[in-house]
Amino acid sequence: MKAVLQRVREASVTVDGEITGAIGTGLLVLFCAEQGDRLAEADYFSSKISKMRIFTDTEGKMNLSLADIGGSLLIVSQFTLAANWRKGNRPGFSAAASPDEGRQLYEHFCHSLEKLGHTVEKGIFGAQMEVRLLNDGPVTIVMDSSDKS
């Protein structure tokens, strides 16, 4: 499982000319389920994201969580995070979860964050999307379940 968190002042996702999700201050999360990922990993990711202190306090230190600032999440499925780019010039995506598994994990991840009390906006799984954001910082965190440290 992979997720890229971007601290934003605002973000939106558009499908076929229609905005499907939009937030103000919070996190844009690009989410990728990979083969072998489990619901427990999605729960772990949502818990870590919920508690991660990456928003600045009054002294300018990253000391506040999403809940502390009352921020929202825009979660976009992005299987291309599973790209194998090492061989040849055309990346392969065989490490990504199947569409059915990916959708299940994506929906579970979103629901898990909602259960933690967060406002969650979403893209449309599997759709061609346009994502707009105003990055804040910039602060970008890459999460990968294969990292064991």
* Sequence ranges of the domains in the chain: 2-139
* 64-92: pLDDT as tens digits: 999 999 999 999 999 999 999 998 899 99
Q: Which residues are catalytic?
A: 78-80
What is the residue-averaged pLDDT of the chain? 96
75: part of which helix (H) or strand (E)?
A: strand 72-77
145: part of which helix (H) or strand (E)?
A: none
Residue 148: pLDDT band (50, 70, 90) is low
Residue 146: pLDDT band (50, 70, 90) is confident
pTM over 0.85: yes
- Mean pLDDT value of segment 114-119: 97
d(CA 7, CA 5): 7
What CATH architecture applies to the domain 2-139? Answer: 3-Layer(bba) Sandwich (3.50)
Q: What pairs with residue 64 in β-bridges? A: 55
